[in-house]
Amino acid sequence: MKHLLNSLESSLAQSPVGIAVELPGGLRLGNANADLRLRFRDRMAVVALAMGEIGNVGAAIVEGRVALEGSMRQLMAAAAAMLRSDPARDEQVAWWRRVLLRARSMAAHTRARDAQHIQYHYDLSDDFYALWLDPRRVYSCAYFRADGMTLAQAQEAKLDHICRKLMLRPGERFLDIGAGWGGLLLWAAEHYGVDATGITLSRNQHAHVQRLIEERGLQGRVRMQLLDYRVLQVPEPFDKIASVGMFEHVGHAQMGHYFATVHRLLRPGGLLMNHGITAGGLDNAAGLGAGMGDFIERYIFPGGELMHVSRALQEMARAGLEMVDTENLRPHYARTLWAWSDRLETRLDEARRILVDQHGQEQGEKALRAYRLYLAGCALAFEHGWVALHQVLAARPTGEVAAGALAGAQSDYPFNRAYMYEDRAAAHAAAS
């Protein structure tokens, strides 16, 4: 125990912010006058802190075994300093454990289980999410294209960035897989004139978007369906497809089927935008280390699985989709998450009331503690490169060498990035 306490004191001394720690027996360590204070009621949580298992410390905070006082930014600065290794680059997973992980992935990603996972997270409370998301409730990485952008402006910039990359044109058939609260779906319909279909497994999101479609008079041109991507059947393929913040829920074992399904739903020559979180390490098949992956799985995204972008590209290629452009927006997601975290921190009383009213005192308090740690912890992870965010634009080649803007293009993609960044008014004029 003495060695453990010495190790803990050494870690506290290296923290860039002062920490006061009170152990179960009353012993106090660290800076007694610090703004960041941790009161431990559980000895195993003390061991986790000393070992740098910050995800397990987070779990103890959620469960009420550690009391926290201080800001999320202070806590994350301290947590990063106490890590013993890079969470994205832990030891390679043994072959037999990879087999077990794949079997677990297959079991976790049936249609019934995926519906349960999505509803666990996204149906927590629309009112709660509305407290800290932008007015469109865009729950994915924003694009801070210019200095001084607000969160709402950066989210609209992201929506437009995706629509530009996809070269959306009036009358095209557009599919949004995992359409959330409808931000991209409605933006594409209202600003680019597409015939838009969205799908989701969240009952709350489905009901919300249905109301927006009716309020905006978009019936007949925009539709939202409550179903799994695996069972979507359409009379003709889509011209363009977007999947934003969805493929993280697919699972390693289902990834080949996922991209094969996208290939089936996309017309030859059409474009796919796959926007999603990717792993920072090549070999962390078991998820982020230091207990962080386990925390996310337990409290936030059950069934969520990340893969390195190189693996995602392999699965795309096997399905017959050609990657034509890839962009990493990793620091943009760090900034997005800090914006969400800061907004939630300013409205904690409202958030607590909403969650307690809907889930009861104990579960509501636990959910709030979990989300405070999740938002700030993910911001930290994106800042450090433990995870990334890639927008991958892909095409389904036609097989016709003479088709396209250039000989051999075989798709709508012009093999020139200029169109993504040109003045939007000029782009619309050229398209009309």
Coil, strand or helix: which one is 364?
A: helix
Contacts of 285 (CB under 8 A, 6+ apart): 93, 97, 98, 101, 252
One domain, residues 72 and 136: no
Whether residue 411 contacts residue 111, with contact meaning beta carbons closer than 8 Å, is answered with: no
Q: What is the pLDDT along the chain (432 residues), one digit of tens a residue?
A: 677 777 787 778 878 889 999 999 888 998 888 999 999 998 899 888 888 888 999 999 999 999 999 999 999 999 998 887 788 775 555 555 565 666 666 777 788 877 788 887 889 999 999 999 999 999 999 999 999 999 999 999 999 999 999 999 999 999 999 999 999 999 999 999 999 999 999 999 999 999 999 999 999 999 999 999 999 999 999 999 999 999 999 988 899 999 999 999 999 999 999 999 999 988 765 567 778 888 898 899 888 889 999 999 999 999 999 999 999 999 999 999 999 999 999 999 999 999 999 999 999 999 999 999 999 999 999 999 999 999 999 999 999 999 888 999 999 999 999 999 877 554 444 444
Q: Which of 88, 105, 81 is nearest to 11 (CA)?
A: 81
Residue 316 covered by a domain: yes
Together in a domain, 54 and 160: no
Residue 256 burial (C-beta neighbours within 10 Å; 0-12, 13-18, 19+): middle
pLDDT value of position 105: 65
Hey, what are 231's tokens? 């069972």
Q: Are residues 53 and 118 in the same domain?
A: no
Q: What is the pTM of this model?
A: 0.92
Residue 98 lies in a domain: no
- 305 and 243 both lie in a single domain: yes
Q: What is the CATH number of the domain that holds 71?
A: 3.30.1050.10
Residue 228 located in a structural domain: yes
Rounded Cα distance between 55 and 63, Å, is 12
Query: Of 35, 65, 82, which residue constitutes the final position of a domain?
Result: 82
Number of structural domains the chain divides into = 2
Residue 94 maps to a domain = no
Range of the domain at 186: 107-431
In a domain, residue 99? The reply is: no
Structural domain includes residue 91: no
Is 95 within a domain?
no
Choosing from 82, 97, 125, the residue where a domain stops is: 82
| pLDDT given for residue 5 in this prediction | 75
Dmax over Cα atoms in the chain, in whole Å?
Answer: 77
Asked if residue 133 and residue 12 are part of one domain, the reply reads no
Query: Where residue 167 sits, what CATH number does that domain have?
Result: 3.40.50.150
234 and 308 together in one domain? yes
Which residues lie below 8 Å from residue 308, measured CB to CB, with a gap of 6+? 278, 279, 280, 281, 282
One domain for residues 77 and 217:
no
Closest CA to 135 of 155, 117, 149: 155
Domain end (from 66, 82, 98): 82
Q: What pLDDT does 144 receive?
A: 97
The reply to whether 41 and 141 lie within a common domain is no
- Kindly name the residue from 378, 389, 392, 409 that is annotated as catalytic: 378
pLDDT at position 222: 98
Specify if 210 maps to a domain.
yes
- Is the backbone of residue 85 left (phi > 0), alpha (psi -120 to 50) or beta? beta
Beta-carbon-side half-sphere exposure of residue 18 (alpha carbons within 13 Å): 7
Residue 121 shares a structural domain with residue 67: no
At residue 97, the pLDDT reads 55
Catalytic-residue membership of 163: no
67 and 206 co-located in one domain: no
Question: In Å, what is the CA distance from 118 to each residue of 60, 203, 401?
Answer: 24, 9, 41
Token pair recorded at residue 284: 């962390």
Q: Residues 330, 409: one domain?
A: yes
Convert 37-60 to b/e letters by CB count within 10 Å (16 or more is b): bbebeeeebbbbbbbbbbbbbbbb
Do 359 and 224 share a domain, yes or no?
yes
